[in-house]
């Protein structure tokens, strides 16, 4: 597959088939992604591949905390504390697309809550990937990690696998680190759902729009 086609084909998938992903395939994806560039070749990524009983136990703990109203505290600030346009509007439209597709009304708080809780199960994908980094690393390593994550998502397409990166899983670093045995001083950046797409699922039928190149690019000659 051409790289440009893969970039356009990749999308955030939120419903998966109940089909296991072989460990050798996950290893092949991570091996390919490990060639992503990083400053001074420091390769800051640390990956936890969570499935089976461990995934069930972990997601149950997180979802229970979420539904009880106990919000965790992420290791870093992902989104701005105050939103301005055009970012505010894009964020609103992104969420509205999903709720409109699922026909979940704004007043239907229970269905909205249930849909958000699915984040903490990695949308019931068979595999939950979690990404950690040593606390000593600085902003440059976040850039490195972004390239690594994109590489995983593109490499997954070679195996007919779908993904969804999840900042939401970084909301509960203490639960995740305690369950998996990672040091509390490490940074949990995000998670990622990995599995085979359920192409019949309504939630996978919409695509978020992208801005035209002319709206974010200036050419200097």
CATH of the domain at 36: 3.40.109.10
CA pair distance 149, 83, nearest whole angstrom: 25
Q: For residue range 157-211, list pLDDT tens digits in order.
A: 999 999 999 999 999 999 999 999 999 999 999 999 999 999 999 999 989 999 9
Segment (H or E) for 188 = strand 187-195
- 72 pLDDT higher than 90: no
Residue 38's domain spans which residues?
10-77+120-205
One-letter-per-residue 3-state SS of 8-40: HHCCECCCECCCCCCHHHHHHHHHHHCCCCCHH
Q: What is the mean pLDDT of residues 44-66?
A: 97
- Res. 70: pLDDT tops 90: no
Instruction: Give the pLDDT confidence score for residue 128 in this predicted structure.
Output: 98
Average pLDDT, the chain: 95
pLDDT at 100: 86
pTM here is 0.94
Total domains in the fold of the chain: 1
**2 torsion bin: left (phi>0), alpha (psi -120 to 50), beta (else):** beta
Q: How many Å apart are CA 12 and CA 99, to the nearest integer?
A: 15
CA 34-39-43 angle, 5° bins: 30
For residue 104, pLDDT beyond 90: no
Q: How far apart are CA 169 and CA 166, in angstroms?
A: 6
Q: How confident is the model at residue 55 (pLDDT cuts 50, 70, 90)?
A: very high
Whether 199 is in a domain gets the answer yes
Mean pLDDT over residues 9-24, rounded? 96
Are 172 and 72 contacting, i.e. CB atoms less than 8 angstroms apart?
A: yes
Q: How many CA atoms lie within 13 A of 202 on its CB side?
A: 8
pLDDT at 102 (0 to 100): 86
* Length of the chain in terms of residues written: 221
Query: Looking at residues 132-155, what average pLDDT do you find?
Result: 97
In a domain, 82, yes or no: no
- Whether 16 is in a domain gets the answer yes
- Structure confidence at residue 221 as a pLDDT band (50, 70, 90): very high
Tell me: pLDDT of 99 over 90.
no
Q: Are 198 and 204 in contact (CB under 8 A)?
A: yes
Provide the 8-state DSSP code for 132.
Answer: E
4 in a structural domain: no
Do the domain assignments include residue 93?
A: no
Q: State mean pLDDT over 130-148.
A: 97
Say if residue 164 is preceded by a cis peptide, omega within 30 of 0.
no
Cβ atoms of residues 196 and 161 within 8 Å: yes
Output the pLDDT for position 2: 87
Helices (H), the chain: 3-9, 23-33, 52-67, 87-101, 109-117, 139-157, 173-180, 213-216
Which DSSP letter does residue 186 get?
Answer: S
- Residue 14 inside a domain? The answer is yes
Looking at the domain assignment, is residue 217 inside a domain?
Answer: no
């Amino acid at each position: 597959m051409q790289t440009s086609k893969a970039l356009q084909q990749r999308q955030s998938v939120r419903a998966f088939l109940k089909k296991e992903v072989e460990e050798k395939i996950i290893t092949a994806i991570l091996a390919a992604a490990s060639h992503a560039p990083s400053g001074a070749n420091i390769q800051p990524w640390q990956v936890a591949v969570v499935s089976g009983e461990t995934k069930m136990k972990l997601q149950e703990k997180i979802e229970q905390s979420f539904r009880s109203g106990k919000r965790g505290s992420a290791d870093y600030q992902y989104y701005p504390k105050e939103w301005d346009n055009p970012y505010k509007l894009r964020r609103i439209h992104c969420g509205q697309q999903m709720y409109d597709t699922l026909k979940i009304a704004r007043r239907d708080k229970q269905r909205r809550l249930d849909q958000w809780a699915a984040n903490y199960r990695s949308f019931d994908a068979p595999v939950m990937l979690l990404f950690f980094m040593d606390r000593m690393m600085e902003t440059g390593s976040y850039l490195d990690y972004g390239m690594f994550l994109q590489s995983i998502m593109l490499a997954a397409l070679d195996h007919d696998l779908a993904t969804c990166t999840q900042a939401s899983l970084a909301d509960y670093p203490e639960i995740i680190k305690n369950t998996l045995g990672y040091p509390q001083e490490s940074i949990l950046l995000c998670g990622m759902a990995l599995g085979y797409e359920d192409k019949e699922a309504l939630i996978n039928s919409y695509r978020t729009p992208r801005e035209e190149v002319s709206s974010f690019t200036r050419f200097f000659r």
